[in-house]
Amino acid sequence: MANVLVTGGCGFIGANLVPMLRKKGHRVAILDNFSRGSRDYLDDVTAYEIIEADIRDEDAVIQAAKGRDAIIHLAAYGSVVESVAAPEENFSVNAEGTFKVLNAAKKAGVTQMVFSSTGGALIGNAIPPVNEKSLPKPISPYGASKLAGEGYCCAFANAYDMSVTALRFANVVGPISWHKKGAVTAFFKAIMTGQPIRIFGDGSATRDFLFVEDLCRGIISGLDAKKPGFNAYHLASGREVSVKELAEIARKAASAPDHPILFDPKRKGEVERNFANYDLAQKELETKYQNAEKQRAALQNSLHDAESILSQISEKHSTELSQRDFAQKKAEQKYQTAEKQRIALEDALQDAQSSLAKISEM
């Protein structure tokens, strides 16, 4: 089995990936600067060699890469919206940082790398479903930085006889994502705290949601395949779900069908429609997904996470959390206690399976 270095291994995707790598017999080391990741996200912190460093510190990456068979490069900065607000930092981490990881791999004698790229942000406003032949036209600094990363991956693969696989991720959901700012997490947090669900635009924008375990299987397949040269693959569900539909699913899953939705102006950099065809990955990497079941499980896990976070919030505030009465017969409702909210969420978990059946019908 391989000796693998995972950059960003203490983040959302990394913390889901590393135990799966370990179960397959791989030796796993993690390089993370802990700007957003945490050791607490790991299944067993003692099972991994953990190196605290920034990917832009090339000397540190070289030392971490020595003796490894491969690098899985997950470390990245922010999202589309954050890249619009801070394009300099986005470029520094995602473009320059990826170059330094590739250069460190070359200097350390590591000939294989798997790179976490993106689908929708890289391609831009193309007519979906997009695939590996779609022409990239990013409309955000985030998408541009990932395209630059893919460019350097292709260059290093050809110039230095490396195996570099770029995996273009869909919108990933699942456990250990409560600290993230994606739609699923944001919608459940809004429901928990009695705030309106915020949708940017009219809700018709679409996304491709992929369960994190499926994504990690795709990453491991890319590692195991060790394709020569440079290769790019979309890892996606192939299902198009509108943001408004997702909000409705979240409301029903949380037994809050009348929870208010606020429509804000559309944000710059975000694509209108986004879902991808993953046939090439399925063919060449033997990547298979169980989309509907896994997506239902992802939202259920979000509800489980909600219970945990709710407990933390109740301790922090020590008083009752406000939550609006969703029954139209009541104009106002007294504050509910955190205990009542936990009970409500427990009941919601029982209803989530049937409430989320719509996903399989999409």
Outline where 169-319 has alpha helix (H): 183-193, 212-225, 243-253, 279-284, 291-317
Q: Is there a domain that residue 17 lies in?
A: yes
**Contact by Cβ (8 Å): 53, 33:** yes
* Distance (Å) of CA 195 to CA 242, 259, 329: 21, 9, 20
Q: Is there a domain that residue 300 lies in?
A: no
Distance in angstroms (rounded) separating the CA atoms of residues 233 and 220: 13
**Contact by Cβ (8 Å): 234, 278:** yes
Instruction: Tell me what pLDDT residue 289 has.
Output: 56
Q: Is there a domain that residue 250 lies in?
A: no
Q: Is there a domain that residue 315 lies in?
A: no
Determine whether 349 is exposed, middle or buried from the number of CB atoms within 10 Å of its CB (0-12, 13-18, 19+).
Answer: middle
Instruction: Tell me what pLDDT residue 356 has.
Output: 46
Instruction: Supply angle C-alpha 119, 124, 128, rounded to 5.
Output: 70
* Distance (Å) of CA 212 to CA 151, 171, 270, 279, 285: 26, 9, 22, 18, 17
Q: Is there a domain that residue 220 lies in?
A: yes
Q: Is there a domain that residue 273 lies in?
A: no
Q: Is there a domain that residue 314 lies in?
A: no
Q: What percent of the chain has pLDDT over 90?
A: 77
Tens digit of pLDDT for each residue in 66-106? 999 999 999 999 899 999 999 999 999 999 999 999 999 99
Q: Measured between alpha carbons, how far apart are the two ends of the chain, in Å? A: 39
- Give the pLDDT of the chain (362 residues) as one tens digit per residue: 899 999 999 999 999 999 999 999 999 999 999 999 999 999 999 999 999 999 999 999 999 999 999 999 999 998 999 999 999 999 999 999 999 999 999 999 999 999 999 998 999 999 999 999 999 999 999 999 999 999 999 999 999 999 999 999 999 999 999 999 899 999 999 999 999 999 999 999 999 999 999 999 999 999 999 999 999 999 999 999 999 999 999 999 999 999 999 999 999 999 999 999 999 999 999 776 544 445 555 555 555 555 555 445 444 443 433 443 433 333 344 444 444 555 555 555 445 544 444 444 44
Instruction: Tell me what pLDDT residue 288 has.
Output: 62
Domain limits for position 117: 3-173+209-238+281-290
Distance in angstroms (rounded) separating the CA atoms of residues 188 and 260: 12
Identify the CATH number of the domain in which residue 9 sits: 3.40.50.720
List residues with catalytic annotation.
142
Cis amide prior to 129 (ω within 30 degrees): yes
* Number of structural domains the chain divides into: 1
